[in-house]
Amino acid sequence: MPLPHEPGPHWGEVGIHGLHRQREWDAVATLDLPDVVGDEVWFAVLPDGSATVESGDADPSPFRPAVTLAPPYRARAVRRGAETWAVAARRIETVELADQPAGDEVEIAWDGSERTVRIDGTPTLAGVPALERLAAARHRTYVVRAVRLSGATWEVAVSAL
């Protein structure tokens, strides 16, 4: 006579499968700030120490002492209770661009034979030589993305293609 079917899970040996999620933040902290108004703020701290608010309704200055990273960095502070806030930050790379592109976001891809440039999502034949030199110094083929933080200061990310 056959044994009854076991309906429980058959997971086999214990183990971890798949890839872990990449770390999103380089520094995190919680702090009690009873006098801060608002619920959330996204901000960037530039190399000169000045801050630019990207979105949110809170002032970023009370959170800056809790961030252990040297500028430049991007941070997010979120209210977690009546007085408790969580703040997280990650390092960013910035460049000063003397020749300003027309928009606020630039993406350049070079596959070794063809260059593609998008400024604010729109394809263009114009280039940004400073960004191209930066990327070419790191990779033979690349994608470089730049976002204007303030004036001539841009956050950049360079990846191999």
- Cis peptide before 60, with omega less than 30 degrees from 0? no
Q: Is the pLDDT of residue 7 over 90?
A: no
Higher pLDDT, 5 or 67: 67
pLDDT in tens, 48-78: 999 999 999 988 999 999 999 999 999 999 9
Rama region for 38: left / alpha / beta (φ>0; ψ in -120 to 50; rest): left
pLDDT at 107: 97
pLDDT in tens, 106-125: 999 999 999 999 999 999 99
60-66 long-range CB contacts below 8 Å, 24 or more apart?
A: 62/33, 62/36, 63/31, 63/33, 63/87, 66/29, 66/31
Mean pLDDT of the chain: 90
